[in-house]
């Protein structure tokens, strides 16, 4: 029976990879369904034939094994056919065919959703051409990958599993956010507005002259080299000497977009050159004027609600990390790594 066990394990492990790792999404793919059905049928027949070969040692056991495996193969073939029948798409929902694959109106609408295209613009020829063209190209390349059996490569399988986890995690986070965002009351919004006067009733807008640079190009040594400069002309000249790409323009900064301490410095020291680092760009800027421009009414309510949602999102993400860490059981060397305290920040 040792020969049978090795043979059985070899085919069973192959079947598990095809069926469990690929999952139902792959079963809905037309050509792969036929390939999968054929493979499963072949495995069942191979098991049955082997059972007959060992029948001389144990005829009853071999016969039982053959019957069970053939029945399993028949059931799996039947399931595959049922999946195929369920995934047939009415012609009215098909917008394009790419070989044996189809692109449906639902897939096209999903592209618009992800690109945040408003419903009233989804019939514009230019947008349709762009979205549908990208969808056709992706579907064509996906079929090419399947025909080349790239979906069986370990790295591709891992990427597919990762993509699935990302989509599911995002869906769970979005659902939780939607439920908790709906609980934000008018009292919450009013309280936020009252606690942040520089964002609303006392909001001020600073007009600026600025130089935009890639944040990755601005090291601490670059900042130190321009620290004592009083004009943007000097800063621009230094950046040119260092070979750092930059553009110069006019801009504006709201008191609600920076810390109260920084805005106070901007107001008290208008001759200073300031630097704000963002992603992907940073700006060297100088204040040319400040005017009071309160944010009130519906605009204030909308802004406050959005700010509360952002705060809630950060809080939920932090809570999810804690809960996940508590639920996880780390193994081997990773247990020690994950238990260790992070190194103290250098001052």
In this prediction, residues 172-180 reach a mean pLDDT of 90
Query: How many residues does the structure list for the chain?
Result: 347
CB 226 within 8 A of CB 307: no
**237-246 CB contacts, 8 Å cutoff, 24+ apart:** 239/211, 239/213, 244/213, 244/214, 244/217, 244/218, 245/213, 245/214, 245/217, 246/211, 246/212, 246/213
Q: What is the predicted pLDDT for the residue at 88?
A: 80
DSSP H helices in 182-286 = 186-195, 220-226, 232-242, 260-268
CB 258 within 8 A of CB 276: yes
Digit-coded pLDDT (tens) for 262-303: 999 999 998 899 999 998 999 999 999 999 999 999 999 999
Task: Flag whether pLDDT at 4 surpasses 90.
Answer: no
Q: What is the predicted pLDDT for the residue at 29?
A: 39
Q: Is 243 left (phi over 0), alpha (psi -120 to 50) or beta?
A: left
Q: What is the predicted pLDDT for the residue at 15?
A: 36
pTM reported for the whole predicted model: 0.58
Q: What is the predicted pLDDT for the residue at 39?
A: 41
- Backbone φ and ψ for 102, nearest 5 degrees, come out as -125, 155
d(CA 106, CA 87): 13
């Amino acid at each position: 029976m040792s020969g049978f066990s090795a043979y059985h394990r070899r085919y069973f492990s192959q079947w598990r990879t095809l069926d469990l790792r690929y999952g139902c999404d792959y079963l809905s793919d037309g050509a792969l369904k036929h390939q999968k059905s054929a493979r499963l049928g072949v495995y069942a027949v191979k098991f049955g034939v082997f059972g007959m070969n060992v029948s001389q040692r144990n005829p009853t056991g071999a016969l039982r094994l053959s019957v069970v495996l053939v029945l399993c193969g028949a059931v799996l073939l039947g399931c595959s056919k049922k999946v195929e029948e369920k995934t047939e798409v009415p012609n009215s929902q098909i917008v394009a065919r790419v070989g044996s694959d189809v692109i449906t109106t639902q897939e096209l609408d999903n592209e618009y959703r992800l690109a945040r295209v408003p419903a009233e613009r989804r019939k514009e020829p230019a947008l349709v051409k762009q979205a549908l063209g990208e969808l056709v190209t992706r579907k064509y390349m996906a079929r090419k990958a399947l025909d080349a059996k790239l979906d069986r490569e370990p790295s591709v399988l891992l990427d597919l599993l990762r993509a699935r986890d990302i989509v599911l995690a995002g869906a769970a986070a979005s659902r939780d956010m939607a439920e908790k965002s709906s609980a934000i009351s008018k009292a919450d919004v009013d309280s936020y507005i009252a606690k942040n006067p520089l964002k609303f009733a006392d909001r001020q807008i600073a007009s600026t002259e600025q130089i935009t640079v890639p944040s990755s190009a601005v090291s601490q040594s670059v900042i130190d080299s321009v620290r004592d400069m009083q004009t943007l002309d000097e800063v621009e000249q230094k950046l040119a000497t260092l070979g750092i790409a930059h553009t110069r323009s006019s801009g504006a900064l709201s008191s609600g977009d920076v810390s109260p301490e920084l805005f106070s410095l901007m107001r008290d020291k208008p001759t200073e050159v300031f630097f704000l680092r963002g992603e992907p760009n940073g700006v060297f800027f100088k204040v040319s004027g400040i005017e009071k421009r309160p944010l009130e009414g519906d605009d204030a309510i909308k802004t406050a609600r959005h700010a509360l949602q952002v705060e809630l999102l950060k809080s939920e993400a932090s809570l999810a990390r804690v809960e996940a860490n508590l639920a996880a059981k780390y193994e081997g060397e990773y247990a020690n790594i994950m238990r260790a305290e992070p190194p103290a920040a250098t001052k």
